A and B are shown apart, each in its own frame.
Chain A
Amino acid sequence: MIKVSHARRRSVTRNSITVGLATGVYGISFGALAVTNGFSFTQTQVLSLGLFSGASQFALVGIVGAGGGAFAAIATSSLLGARNGLYALSLANTLKLKGFKKIIASQLTIDESTAMSIANNDDEYLSKRAFWITGISVFVFWNIATAIGAFGAGLVSDPKVYGIDAAVGAAFLALLWPRLVSKEIRVIGLSAALLAVVLTPIFQPGIPVLASALIAVIAGYKGFVKNA
């Protein structure tokens, strides 16, 4: 194994913590939205500790808050989290974990830790290091920020006055934004949005979003998108 320079090691550590902090901070908006959507402080915190995947968490509280059932919320959250399984798979060769560490690493397998690990995959040691430091930083900062947001929102009597309901759609758009990398993907996204609008008056809240997953199945199966 080639020994990595001290400077490179430090830069990986610094970048990983920066990503952790930047990502973690928006746990404030999650905490606030969960509480204004009727979740208790404890439920909100359990989501950040246990579910620990931004898009899934926002979807779950959004759907329940809009009057959707537990089934639609669970299904949507899980479909959104399915990609983490593929991340774990692609990281398995780098991390080479056993036993308890495998359990902890699984919980920390999210967009950011995976991306930082892959960004440093020219060196196995740094790739591992980036995964762990990013994963742990996001986890710690995300949970602290969740508590702050949940506590703060508890002090607000009417969230509509502060436009907090408008934050949900904005949060999803911001999560979606970096993924809209090609024309095909934007067309697929628009089709899903259109399907959800058409289904909204017909089905219970939560079902239209769930149904949009069908578009991913069809587009993915038919191979509409190269290198999705």
Chain B
Amino acid sequence: MLEAKWIAVIVSSVLAFLLKLSGNIIPAKYLERPKIKAITALVPIVMLSALVIVQTFALGQNLVIDARFAGLIFAFILLLIRAPFIVVVIGASLMAALLRYFDLLN
């Protein structure tokens, strides 16, 4: 049986390609309606917002405050001072790693 991860990898890749291709094939009038455009533009914003929170506070179905939260706060500060993506990501990891190393947060 195909492992769930492989299914997710392959199906997502195929769908992503079909979505991109659809813009090249479907007549513009169906996709250019203002409401469809507004919804499509907002989807990444709401889902990324939800993902930030879930990946920081969720542990399975529990909500916890651990070193990931400190990492996120540090990432927020780095973004405020316009640090590039890679610096933000590594900075957040480093902050969490340090707090764990000194046993300040789990």
Contacts and interface: CB of A to CB of B under 8 A. Distances in A.
A166 B55 CA distance: 8
B28 interface: yes
Given A161-B100, A167-B71, A51 B86 contact: no
Contacts, number: 324
Contacts of B9: 39, 43, 46-47, 50-51, 60
A26 interface: yes
B53 A80 contact: no
Interface residues of A, number: 102
A221 to B, nearest CB: 6
Greatest chain B CB density within 10 A among A22, A79, A209 is at A209
Interface in B1-50: 4-17, 19-24, 26, 28, 31-32, 34-35, 37-50
B42 to A, nearest CB: 4
Contacts of B22: 85, 88
Interface in A52-107: 52-53, 55-56, 58-60, 62, 64, 66-67, 69-70, 73-74, 76-92, 97, 102-103, 105-107
A7 interface: no
Given A62-B51, A64-B4, A192-B50, A86 B23 contact: yes
A166 B67 contact: yes
Given A67-B60, A79-B43, A105 B5 contact: no
B5 A26 contact: no
Contacts of A201: 61-63
B103 to A, nearest CB: 12
Contacts of A209: 47, 50-51, 54
Given A171-B85, A228-B38, 7 more contacts: A29-B90, A50-B17, A79-B47, A81-B16, A170-B75, A172-B52, A211-B50
Give 8 nearest A-B pairs by CB, closest first: A88-B23, A166-B71, A163-B96, A50-B13, A220-B39, A170-B92, A166-B96, A163-B97
Interface of B: 4-17, 19-24, 26, 28, 31-32, 34-35, 37-58, 60-63, 67-68, 70-72, 74-76, 79, 84-86, 88-98, 100-101
